[in-house]
Amino acid sequence: MKILLLGGGGREHAFAWKMKQSPLCEQLFIAPGNAGTASFGTNVPLHPNDFEAVGAFALKEQIEMLVVGPEEPLVLGIYDYFKAHGQLKDIHVIGPSKKGAQLEGSKVFAKKFMMERDIPTAAYAEFTQDTLEDGLAYIRQHTTPIVLKADGLAAGKGVVICQTAEEAQDEFRAMLSGKFGEASARVVVEEFLDGIEFSVFVITNGKQYKILPVAKDYKRIGEGDTGLNTGGMGSVSPVPFVDENLMRKVENWIISPTLTGLQEIDAPYVGFIFFGLIKVGNSPFVIEYNCRMGDPETEVVLPRLQSDLVELMLAADKSTLDEEHLIEDPRFAATLILVSGGYPETYEKGKTITGLDGVEGSIAFHAGTKLEDGLVKTNGGRVIALTSYGMDIRSAVDTSLENAEKVQYEGKYYRKDIGFDL
């Protein structure tokens, strides 16, 4: 099968690495890809949001499966574009419809969806510029901390946790005045949940589903979970505190009603659902939905998946997922993200990366890299994900830490405490 994978981060390198192991994958293209994905297929300089160009390429190369890595093309409706197009409609699209992608594309949509189905999530209210005064009053009488969320996609920056009502009111005004553009024209004000977070992923066709290995990611830039939020500084799988009892609640209270809900609203959904969850006491709550796999969770989830990913994705689209057996590697996996100095604020690109050849016992997934004049150079905030296996989290992390010393570029930074709280 000829497959086109959209995206160019660590998640997509992990997808390319995993898909290329499948006998079903005859040829792989990655758009735009990075210096790492180039080892598993052909990088194509297309923007994933340019549907016409993606569609034209798919026709020219007789692509049979389109795998969509990032959320933006999904929220913008790439699935619907393919399905409405006479010559593209038979291509297997792995990614939900625009309607299904609203689970991630609109916090207001997701909160309503959950409330209507009693899916456990934080209590909330939503406001616009027209209801600004009501919102300020709502915040004044709210317990602290208070969580504010821009409704739309804001590149992972749209959530602000405020410690005082004053801070929340200032942030609330800023959001409604366009701090995140259109994305914050509507704002969700939400109760703060105190607990420990974890990520659950399913591959689904909207009815049947299989649960992928559970993971936990580390979002803050600083050790001890301090400082600014990032796209993710590392992750581990499995997660020791997520036991069978908790997973039963996740399935019954969250996964099943979510799928039933997608059917009720007639939202075609073949692809991945990422449940961003928090354990409060002994109960799971939904912090957020994503309509795609997580990054850097994918860099530990796929290495722990022994089953054939292409076969699973095909089975999802053919509604034969129930016949598939998902096999997990019993070992732990951990990934450390090496980032550019200054990230998640301003940072420089184009630094030459050396030492990748010396990496031993870890997989080096590229995130923000590019090939230039035969050299691998930094090309983003998150640069390399070093994934290792171990019989426990500590030994997996230790192997990645040893290799993190070997990879060199100006301004390299990484957290040394990933997984140490578990």
Residue number, 83 or 219, with CB nearest to ligand AMP: 219
Residue number, 135 or 276, with CB nearest to ligand GLY: 276
The residue written with tokens 């089953």 in the block is 307
With CA atoms as reference, report the closest residue to 292 among 201, 219, 365, 207: 201
Q: Which parts of this chain interact with ligand GLY (CB under 6 A)?
A: 217, 232, 290, 294-295, 297
Torsion of CA 398, 403, 405, 409, to 10 degrees: -140
Eight-state DSSP code of residue 367: S
Q: According to the binding rule CB under 6 A, does residue 293 interact with ligand AMP?
A: no
Residue number, 232 or 419, with CB nearest to ligand GLY: 232
Q: According to the binding rule CB under 6 A, does residue 193 interact with ligand AMP?
A: yes
Q: What six digits make up the tokens of 7?
A: 């995206």
Q: According to the binding rule CB under 6 A, does residue 219 interact with ligand AMP?
A: yes
Smallest separation (angstroms) from ligand AMP to the CB of 296: 13
**Pick from ligand AMP, ligand GLY, none: which does 217 bind, CB < 5 to 8 A by kind?**
ligand GLY
Residue number, 96 or 294, with CB nearest to ligand GLY: 294
Per-residue b or e along 163-185, where b marks 16 or more CB atoms closer than 10 Å to that residue's CB = eebebbbebbeebbeebbeebbb
Q: According to the binding rule CB under 6 A, does residue 70 interact with ligand AMP?
A: no
Q: According to the binding rule CB under 6 A, does residue 122 interact with ligand AMP?
A: yes
How would DSSP label each residue in 108-152?
HHHHHHHHHTT--B--EEEEEGGGHHHHHHHHHTS-SSEEEEESS
**Pick from ligand GLY, ligand AMP, none: which does 193 bind, CB < 5 to 8 A by kind?**
ligand AMP
Specify whether the CB–CB gap between 182 and 203 falls below 8 A. no
With CA atoms as reference, report the closest residue to 191 among 151, 138, 228, 232: 138
Query: Segment near ligand AMP (CB under 6 A), from 190-198, 296-304, 307-315, 412-420?
Result: 190-198
**Pick from ligand AMP, ligand GLY, none: which does 104 bind, CB < 5 to 8 A by kind?**
none
In whole angstroms, give the CA distance from residue 385 to residue 233.
9
CA distances from 220 to 153, 194, 421 (A): 19, 16, 14
In whole angstroms, give the CA distance from residue 34 to residue 25.
19
**Pick from ligand AMP, ligand GLY, none: which does 48 bind, CB < 5 to 8 A by kind?**
none
Per-residue b or e along 32-59, where b marks 16 or more CB atoms closer than 10 Å to that residue's CB = bbbbbbbebbebbebebeebeebbebbe
Query: Segment near ligand AMP (CB under 6 A), from 68-76, 135-143, 185-193, 237-245?
Result: 185-193
Among 159, 174, 280, 371, binds ligand AMP (CB under 6 A): 159
Cis, peptide link before residue 344, omega less than 30° from 0:
yes
Q: According to the binding rule CB under 6 A, does residue 280 interact with ligand AMP?
A: no
The count of residues interacting with ligand AMP (CB under 6 A) is: 11
Residue number, 135 or 231, with CB nearest to ligand GLY: 231
Smallest separation (angstroms) from ligand GLY to the CB of 298: 8
Give the residues lining the site for ligand AMP (CB under 6 A): 122, 147, 159, 190, 192-193, 197, 219, 276, 287-288
